[in-house]
Structure 1
Amino acid sequence: MTYTTPMQPVNAKPSIREAWDRIAPAFDEFMTPQSVRFGEEVLRRADIGPGVKFLDVAAGSGALSIPAARLGAEVLATDISPVMIECLTARAHSEGMANLEARVMDGCALDLPDGVFDVVASQHGVSLFPDVLAGLAELRRVTKPGGQAIVVAFGRLQKAEFIGFFMGAIRAAVPQAPALPVDPPPLPFQLADPEVFRGKLSEAGFAEVAVETVSWDMQIESAASLWKTAASSNPIGAGMAAGLTDDQRTDALQVLTGMLRERAAGRPVAELKTEINIGTARKL
């Protein structure tokens, strides 16, 4: 058996939009619940409450938007994927959130006036842009003077255990499957170095820049749950999963079951840690 999916970079904006549209329903079902819980922790770094104008760029289906709206902020969520926006809107409606608006928008060319938001944020969004500096500069442009930016990005690829377990299981079942590149790493890891991250925020014009490295602890109940989460987390993961035959997927899931059982050590869930960088800054 051979591994069939070519590892093609997703560069053109229509391709990016289509790639995220394809995985959006699964992303919303499996990834967003984990991401919202982490987003709640992220937002503790900002003064968010009623009356605060909050912008979430490349919002997915609401990892930051939903918890910000729960805190009473006036939230605008944007994403390049119409299907992601549909999923986010459905989440907001299910909670009766009249204070959350979701709109399709390109994060590198926001259709918004200058200096209107108290807090601008992006969790694993702007950090995935091929032109990350352009995305950060747009965040600064629409921030009020004195306003705050919060940007969340993956840390080191080697410290992303949910990806490592997923890839490890695939390559154990299909040794010829390609490994993820490390030099340079995939776009989600382009801000893994805190010094690079700080430099990009400063280059975009922000001040009072800081980057904190924390751990995102994911509670994984089963191999099937982790598989669905990793395969829907990004078009890269989706492509890796789609390249397997049914037999290869079955073999990989068996390997993954053993890996998680060993990590759980008799507990009902396995905890997988992922290194995350949280950048904070202000517009002076």
Structure 2
Amino acid sequence: MNDPDRWNEMAKQYEETAHPFTAPFAEAALARVPITSQTRLLDVATGTGALALAAAWAGAQVLATDFSPGMVARATAHGLPNLEGRTMDGQALDLPDASFDAVFSVFGVMLFPDWRKGLAEMARVTKPGGHGVVATWQSQGAATHLLLGNVVRDLFPTREWRTGLPEGVTVLGDPARLATEMVAAGFAAPAIETMTSDYLLRMTDLDPETQFGLSEDWGALEPADKQAVIDEVYRRADGRDVLPVPSTALIAVAVR
């Protein structure tokens, strides 16, 4: 998960599958902060730019950063004059203190090896009185990872399920701990809301190794067990072309 080359390779697929899924969450996060043409906004771990593009279309002056140049290239490919992209490690932002009115990380900082440093860097570059916004999944994850976990637990109830999720997801996926960590990073008065939206798994395009391959638990399954999981996913789809997977995010808005 922390190899920029791997994310470079995934950028096209991510833009086609994950971006449409995460965009409504990004737009909901953006709506919680006042945005004008004078707003300087930073998007940390932008991915293919779901938040950055929404902010730029709203008129903000946006800097989109990610450690994957392939992701940044897709975020900036739209040619918006008020959207700049830079390859940058969110755990060590090459940016001045107190330089942005609003700093966002939508499903990004939660994946960092040192996610506490990522939160602290977000706070460092936020102007006093500015806003920090973090979106993360609830502790069991989202989309195909959530589906895989639910199916494995149902099929093999006695088997230990390690979740395979980064520490940041499991910690920041709890509302109380998310609030505590944002305060520890330097933000104040975090307000946290939940939002649920469906991930639409297209059964006609189902490639289990692609859909589930990022999970270490999938890799640990025996071939017969993998087939049982695949059969159960098709059973749940019940002949439909699309299987909806309701996924819940936490959206935290705090003040610097």
Q: TM-score range by the shorter chain?
A: 0.7 to 0.9
**Candidates 40, 53, 63, aligned match of 2:40:** 53
Rate the CA distance shift 1:226–1:142 in 2: closer, same or farther, 3 A.
farther
Rate the CA distance shift 1:108–1:82 in 2: closer, same or farther, 3 A.
same
Please state how far the C-alpha of 1:131 moved relative to its aligned partner: 1.5
| Counterpart residue number, 1:186 | 166
2:18 is equivalent to residue 37 of structure 1: no
Which secondary structure does the structure 2 equivalent of 1:45 belong to?
A: coil
Where in structure 2 are there 5+ consecutive unaligned residues?
Answer: none
2:203 is equivalent to residue 216 of structure 1: no
Please state how far the C-alpha of 1:245 moved relative to its aligned partner: 10
Please state how far the C-alpha of 1:208 moved relative to its aligned partner: 1.6
| Counterpart residue number, 1:98 | 81
| Counterpart residue number, 1:236 | 214
| Counterpart residue number, 1:77 | 64
Count of residue pairs brought into register by the alignment: 253
Please state how far the C-alpha of 1:149 moved relative to its aligned partner: 0.7
Distance in 2 between residues matched to 1:219 and 1:149, nearest whole Å = 29
Contact 2:161 2:217 in 1 (8 A): no
Rate the CA distance shift 1:197–1:249 in 2: closer, same or farther, 3 A.
same
Give the alignment of 1:38-187 within 5 angstroms.
Answer: 38-90=25-77, 92-93=78-79, 97-157=80-140, 160=142, 162-167=144-149, 180-181=161-162, 186-187=166-167
Distance in 2 between residues matched to 1:55 and 1:85, nearest whole Å = 13
Please state how far the C-alpha of 1:89 moved relative to its aligned partner: 2.0
Rate the CA distance shift 1:211–1:257 in 2: closer, same or farther, 3 A.
same
| Counterpart residue number, 2:249 | 276
Contact 2:153 2:161 in 1 (8 A): no
TM-score (norm 2): 0.84
Instruction: Kindly indicate whether structure 1 or structure 2 has the higher relative contact order, using CA contacts under 8 Å at least 6 residues apart.
Output: 1
Give the superposed CA RMSD: 3.2
Distance in 2 between residues matched to 1:156 and 1:203, nearest whole Å = 20
Please state how far the C-alpha of 1:220 moved relative to its aligned partner: 3.9
Amino acid corresponding to residue 206 of structure 1 in structure 2: F
Rate the CA distance shift 1:83–1:241 in 2: closer, same or farther, 3 A.
farther
User: CA offsets, 1:139-164, max 9 Å, x none?
Assistant: 1111111100110011130x746423
| Counterpart residue number, 1:5 | none
2:180 is equivalent to residue 199 of structure 1: yes
Please state how far the C-alpha of 1:255 moved relative to its aligned partner: 3.3
Amino acid corresponding to residue 100 of structure 1 in structure 2: L
Rate the CA distance shift 1:104–1:185 in 2: closer, same or farther, 3 A.
closer
Rate the CA distance shift 1:191–1:230 in 2: closer, same or farther, 3 A.
farther
Amino acid corresponding to residue 147 of structure 2 in structure 1: F
Contact 2:25 2:195 in 1 (8 A): no
Rate the CA distance shift 1:246–1:31 in 2: closer, same or farther, 3 A.
farther
Where in structure 1 are there 5+ consecutive unaligned residues?
Answer: 1-9
Please state how far the C-alpha of 1:236 moved relative to its aligned partner: 2.9
Amino acid corresponding to residue 237 of structure 2 in structure 1: L
Please state how far the C-alpha of 1:115 moved relative to its aligned partner: 1.0
Which secondary structure does the structure 1 equivalent of 2:36 belong to?
A: coil
Q: Which range is displaced more, 61-70 or 17-26?
A: 17-26
Distance in 1 between residues matched to 2:237 and 2:118, nearest whole Å = 37
Distance in 2 between residues matched to 1:250 and 1:102, nearest whole Å = 42
Distance in 2 between residues matched to 1:190 and 1:115, nearest whole Å = 27
Contact 2:139 2:173 in 1 (8 A): yes
